[in-house]
């Protein structure tokens, strides 16, 4: 089972540290941006974790200077073939594994990178971490992400991030004050702190931890359940709007986007 969990090379790395599985997004040259292949690898890994009792905690981090810059441009420019938000977000460990997930944010967490923070049971940041939601800045709807973040952070700060887009980054201390993360540590101590928290969790009753986590997550999920389907439907509708293609194109071409004045009559 250890062999099924560990990945020594590739875009997703995984290694066991005692009963903790350390998972590292490993595309540092693009700040660990998510491709379809990376998300598929993560889905496979979470299923393997669910199939073993060897793992008591999962720690997620990023290689290099960034944590996760969100979707790769190859993903942004592609078709939206996923039918539900649950399918779209299935690269996240939280809904699949039944052990606590600790996210240690070592650099920029943007877009889809914020989903890992929202998904975490515990989030710890380096002093060098930055957090931003650039969806509206690339012509996309920030619909599902804010719902996932809302139980964890101040609504006023979340609204500013969602509406101001890339122009409203938070540094680590601002993220701490808003409740987005629970702790900020020096970069050289970040992973060790995540492992320390995981080891402390592992000293407790595995079944009591599992059921406590289930209770907390069920409550959290119920907070946004009634708005979840609408948020995803708005994301899907906007995907066919001209701005949804113009935003990624302008990003690739390193220019300001030219937004359409055409409303989507279906929204």
The CATH number assigned to the domain holding 14 equals 3.90.226.10
pLDDT at 1: 54
Q: Does residue 115 lie within any of the structural domains?
A: yes
pLDDT at 264: 56
pLDDT at 228: 87
Name the β-bridge partners of 13: 24
Q: At residue 197, does pLDDT exceed 90? A: yes
Rg (CA), the chain: 18
CB neighbour list of residue 52: distance below 8 Å, 6 or more residues apart:
1, 4, 5
Average pLDDT of the segment spanning 182-203: 98
Name the β-bridge partners of 171: 130
Average pLDDT of the segment spanning 111-132: 97
Q: Does residue 238 lie within any of the structural domains?
A: no
Average pLDDT of the segment spanning 10-37: 97
Q: Does residue 119 lie within any of the structural domains?
A: yes
| Residue pLDDT, tens place only, 46-103 | 999 998 999 999 999 999 999 999 988 878 766 555 556 667 788 999 999 999 999 9
Average pLDDT of the segment spanning 29-46: 95
Q: At residue 210, does pLDDT exceed 60? A: yes
Euclidean distance between CA atoms 109 and 149, whole angstroms: 13
Q: Does residue 259 lie within any of the structural domains?
A: no
Q: Which tokens in the block code for residue 36? A: 């379809």
Strand ranges inside 68-203, DSSP E: 101-105, 108-110, 122-126, 130-132, 170-171, 183-185
Q: Does residue 47 lie within any of the structural domains?
A: yes
* H helix intervals, 120-171: 144-149, 155-164
Q: Does residue 139 lie within any of the structural domains?
A: yes
- For residue 15, which phi and psi values (nearest 5 degrees)? -150, 150
Average pLDDT of the segment spanning 38-51: 94
Average pLDDT of the segment spanning 117-136: 97
| Residue pLDDT, tens place only, 211-231 | 999 999 999 999 888 898 899
* Mean pLDDT taken over the chain: 92
Share of the chain above pLDDT 70, in %: 93
What is the maximal distance between C-alpha atoms in the chain?
A: 57
Q: Which domain holds residue 63?
A: 2-189+196-206
Number of compact structural domains in the chain: 1
Buried b (16+ CB within 10 A) or exposed e, 12-39: bbbeeeebbbbbbbbbeeebbbbbeebb
**What is the three-class DSSP state of 86?**
helix
Dihedral sign from CA coordinates of 61, 172, 124, 115: negative
* Lowest mean pLDDT, pick from 164-173, 182-191, 195-204, 230-239: 230-239
| Residue pLDDT, tens place only, 143-159 | 899 999 999 999 999 99
Buried b (16+ CB within 10 A) or exposed e, 46-69: bebbeeeeebbbbbbbbbbebbbb
Residue 194: band (very low, low, confident or very high) from pLDDT cuts 50, 70, 90:
very high
Q: Does residue 68 lie within any of the structural domains?
A: yes
Q: Does residue 112 lie within any of the structural domains?
A: yes
| Cβ atoms 129, 175 nearer than 8 A | yes
Q: At residue 237, does pLDDT exceed 60? A: yes
């Amino acid at each position: 089972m250890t062999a099924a969990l560990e990945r020594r090379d590739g875009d997703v790395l995984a290694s066991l540290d005692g009963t903790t599985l350390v998972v590292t997004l490993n595309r540092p040259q693009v700040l660990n941006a998510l491709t379809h292949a990376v998300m598929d690898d993560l889905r496979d890994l979470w299923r393997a974790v669910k199939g073993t009792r060897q793992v008591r905690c999962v720690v997620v981090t990023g290689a290099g200077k960034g944590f996760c810059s969100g979707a790769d441009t190859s993903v942004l420019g592609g078709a939206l073939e996923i039918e539900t938000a649950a399918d779209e977000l299935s690269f996240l460990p939280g809904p699949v594994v039944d052990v606590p997930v600790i996210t240690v944010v070592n650099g920029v967490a943007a877009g889809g990178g914020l989903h890992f923070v929202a998904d975490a049971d515990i989030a710890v940041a380096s002093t060098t971490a930055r957090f931003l939601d650039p969806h509206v800045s690339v012509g996309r709807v920030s619909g599902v992400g804010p719902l996932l973040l809302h139980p964890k952070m101040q609504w006023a700060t979340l609204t500013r991030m969602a509406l101001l887009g890339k122009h409203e980054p938070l540094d680590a201390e601002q993220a701490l004050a808003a409740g987005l993360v629970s702790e900020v540590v020096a970069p050289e101590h970040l992973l060790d702190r995540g492992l320390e928290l995981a080891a402390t969790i592992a000293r407790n009753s595995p079944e009591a931890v599992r059921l406590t986590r289930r209770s907390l997550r069920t409550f959290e999920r119920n907070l946004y359940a009634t708005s979840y389907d609408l948020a995803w439907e708005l994301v899907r509708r906007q995907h066919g709007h001209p701005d949804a293609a113009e935003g990624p194109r302008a990003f690739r071409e390193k220019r300001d986007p030219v937004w359409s004045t055409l409303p989507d009559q279906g929204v």
